[in-house]
Amino acid sequence: MRAKIFFSLSLFFCIFFILLFEQSFLGAMGVHFLKQFPLFLFVFLLNIFIDFKNAFIFSFLAGIMLDFFSGLVFGSFCLIFSIISCVIYWLKKYFSKNSPFSFIVIFLISFGIFKLLPYVFSCLTPYLEKFKNLF
Amino acid sequence: MKKRAQIFFIILIFVIFLSVSRFFSHSLVNQFHQIFSPIEKQFYEAGQRSKTFFSQFFGVFHISKIKKENELLKQENIFLLQKLNELREVKKENDFLKSALAFAKEKNFNILSAQIVSYRANQDVILIDKGKEDNLIKGMPVVTVNNVVVGKIKEVFDNFSEVVLITNNNFSFDVKIQLNDTEQTVALAKGEGNKNLTFDLAPKEKEIPIESLVFTSVLGGSFPPGLLVGKITQVQKNDAQPFQKGVIKPYFPDFLQERVIIITKF
């Protein structure tokens, strides 16, 4: 139980520091091409290596925290990361786990969806026009 | 069936959470930033320092680019210096016009400002850049912005005019000499050439102190009254002569700048 709590807290702090790194540190350095990428990578690895239930919770948490930092439409990142978590779970079912090729394919597909989702949301309703600014 | 219900339940909670969160997200985000802003600041400062370091480090590989930028900046600097000089000139002109406007308002004159184009020292004549097209006519008084008399318009061309200075050999006009706080006397000022001015026909019984100020007089009608001419530097009093005369140091050479004011109506 203790190990589980320790593991959860570690993940939580990892998310927090990645967020600070990409929002404040990289932002101050003027690096924009990696926008939201480190957190996505972290969420992707979580979803690949731990079970769906926990990965989903941490993805959700990561999304919520990014919502706090980004100051855009609240809940948008939360929704996107949750969907990404589900997508990875679904992809994992259809591709072999041990093949490096499948790892790359899952990464590419999930990253593509991650980049595509804001545009999809913005097309769905005019209110979500702000989604275009997320990435 | 149970699993589907669970998924539906999770999605429902999710949607409710996102909908409700919209209402308190503003204060929540505010609280969040209040707590974590010191850490965010540290990361931001670290990022700034890293940016400086990396830009210096990678700058070595961009010498040609820096050189080019340096050349551009030099050119831009020259261009800006020219602009600055232009602005200085405009400011100078603006200051002059402001003073001229105050002068005209104070004396209730109609005035026109002109620039001095040249100065003919041997004739005590200046050329200004306003003429017939600006409705100038012969005989209009010319002064500095400090109320100091300069001369009168002698010749008017289409775009230029000649101004004869009060120190010209053939120039004479009525003046009043301020003897003290209450007393004045009249005299006739005469130009002697080469920026020299004298006075004559001052009543013998009046005691004229050195350094007395000389102003234009209403007599003669050449100039509006009360304009400054100069100060007395020498007085010659002779019992054999019915009047006293002396030397006036005209003020206008000290105040004559690039621009003068023509009084078109007084």
Considering only residues A53 and B10, tell me which one the structure prediction assigns the higher pLDDT: A53
User: Is A74 close to B29, i.e. CB distance below 8 A?
Assistant: yes
| B231 contacts: CB under 8 Å, gap ≥ 6 | B211, B212, B213, B214, B248, B249, B251
User: What is the predicted ipTM?
Assistant: 0.72
Task: Choose the weakest-confidence range: B116-125, B149-158, B167-176.
Answer: B116-125
Q: Do A20 and B21 touch (CB under 8 A)?
A: no
Confidence at B110, pLDDT banded by 50, 70, 90: confident
This prediction has a pTM of: 0.46
User: Average pLDDT for residues B236-258, to the nearest whole number?
Assistant: 79
Per-residue pLDDT tens over the stretch A99-135: 778 888 888 999 998 888 877 777 766 655 555 555 5
Collect all residues of chain A within an 8 Å Cβ-Cβ radius of residue B47: 24-29
Residue B198 near residue B192, CB atoms below 8 Å: yes
Tell me the mean pLDDT in the region B245-263. 80
Kindly indicate the confidence band of residue B254, based on its pLDDT and cuts at 50, 70 and 90: low
| Residue B98 neighbours by CB distance under 10 Å | 11
Question: Under an 8 A CB cutoff, do B46 and A78 touch?
Answer: no
* Interface contact B43-A25, CB threshold 8 A: yes
How far does the CA of residue A100 sit from the closest CA of chain B (Å)?
Answer: 31
Residues of B in contact with A20 (CB under 8 A): 39-40, 43
pLDDT at B122 over 80: no
Taking the C-alpha atoms of residue A119 and residue A116, their distance in angstroms, rounded to an integer, is: 6
B11 contacts chain A (CB < 8 A): no
User: Is residue B37's pLDDT more than 60?
Assistant: yes
Q: Which of B17, B47, B54 sits opposite A25 (nearest CB)?
A: B47
Measured distance CA(B143)–CA(B126) in Å, rounded: 12
| pLDDT band (50, 70, 90) for residue A33 | low
pLDDT band at A34; cut points 50, 70, 90: low
Question: pLDDT digit string (tens) for A46-82?
Answer: 888 888 888 888 888 888 888 877 766 677 788 888 8
Surface of B (13-52) touching A: CB under 8 A: 14, 17-18, 21-22, 25, 28-29, 32-33, 39-41, 43-48, 50-51
Q: Do A29 and B18 touch (CB under 8 A)?
A: no
Chain B residue with minimum CA distance to A18? B43
Do residues B141 and B262 touch, judged by C-beta distance below 8 A? yes
